[in-house]
């Protein structure tokens, strides 16, 4: 599969340099392919999360379009788009995104629960993902009891539960120690090797070693590292 951004831009209304708006992302062209792990570097505020959110169907661009194969995401109705996102995209959001009232297992199953797909098979799949990420023994624990690394692994397991074609990770190794960073990056690399599109926005230089391609973002503009 191919996820493509064509001349994508996003304007936000905020006073800056004498204007009432500014472009957080500007004229981005990007092609992401199955089987590849692609890293996006850039300093804080350069537009990484904004781009990632547009690629994942969460934030409509003000210019350009995002295509997964032949499907133009933002031409879909809201309901159809959320269904499509749930089917094809796994997102690991920046920061903490666990529901505290649910157990680890229930958090991982959440994307299935929301779309009424809770069968014994999905639960078995969730358990397998928790084992794979090394937190199987924490299935019945509440997120508040998890370490940062464990929480991140739970978020990764959740992003993979629907077996998505595209995984978009926003700083998945932020605040992790070296060991957990390796665990997380290896896991995402394996996912890419299994034929998924993996895109990681990050500050973490360790990601270089795992990336098939590297991009840099600066003030909303993207450049490929050759």
Chain residues binding Mg ion by CB under 5 A are: 48-49, 94
The helix/strand/coil state of 107 is helix
Of the pair 46, 107, the CB lying nearest Mg ion is at 46
Residue 21, binding choice from Mg ion, ligand ATP, none, Cβ under 5 to 8 Å by partner class: none
Contact status: 45 vs ligand ATP (CB under 6 A): yes
DSSP assigned state of 193 = H
123 phi and psi, to 5 degrees?
-65, -40
Q: Report the C-alpha gap between 165 and 72 in whole angstroms.
A: 16
* Residue located via tokens 């995209």: 89
Residue 50, binding choice from Mg ion, ligand ATP, none, Cβ under 5 to 8 Å by partner class: ligand ATP
Q: Report the C-alpha gap between 39 and 204 in whole angstroms.
A: 10
Retrieve residue 116's tokens.
């009424």
Stretch that binds ligand ATP, among 40-48, 61-69, 113-121, 179-187 (CB under 6 A): 40-48
Contact status: 111 vs ligand ATP (CB under 6 A): no
Stretch that binds ligand ATP, among 28-36, 41-49, 155-163, 179-187 (CB under 6 A): 41-49
Q: Which of 3, 5, 8, 24 binds ligand ATP (CB under 6 A)?
A: 24
Contact 102, 110 (CB under 8 A): yes
């Amino acid at each position: 599969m191919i996820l493509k951004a064509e001349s994508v831009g996003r304007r936000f209304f905020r006073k800056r340099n004498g204007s009432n708006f500014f472009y957080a992302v500007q004229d981005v062209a990007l092609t992401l392919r199955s089987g590849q792990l692609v890293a996006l570097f850039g300093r804080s505020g350069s537009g990484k999360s904004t781009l990632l959110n547009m690629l994942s169907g969460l934030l409509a661009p003000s210019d350009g379009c995002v295509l997964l194969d032949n499907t133009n995401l933002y031409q879909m109705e809201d309901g159809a788009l959320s269904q499509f996102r749930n089917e094809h995209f796994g997102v690991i959001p920046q920061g903490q995104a666990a529901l505290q009232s649910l157990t680890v297992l229930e958090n991982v199953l959440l994307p299935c629960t929301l779309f009424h797909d809770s069968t014994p098979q999905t639960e078995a799949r969730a358990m397998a993902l928790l084992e794979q990420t090394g937190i199987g023994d924490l299935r019945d624990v509440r997120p508040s009891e998890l370490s940062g690394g464990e929480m991140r692994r739970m978020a990764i397991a959740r992003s993979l539960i629907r077996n998505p074609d595209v995984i978009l990770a926003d700083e998945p190794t932020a605040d992790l120690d070296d060991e957990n960073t390796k665990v997380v990056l290896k896991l995402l690399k394996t996912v890419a090797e299994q034929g998924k599109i993996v895109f990681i926005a990050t500050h973490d230089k360790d990601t270089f070693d795992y990336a098939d391609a590297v991009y840099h973002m600066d003030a909303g503009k993207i450049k490929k590292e050759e």
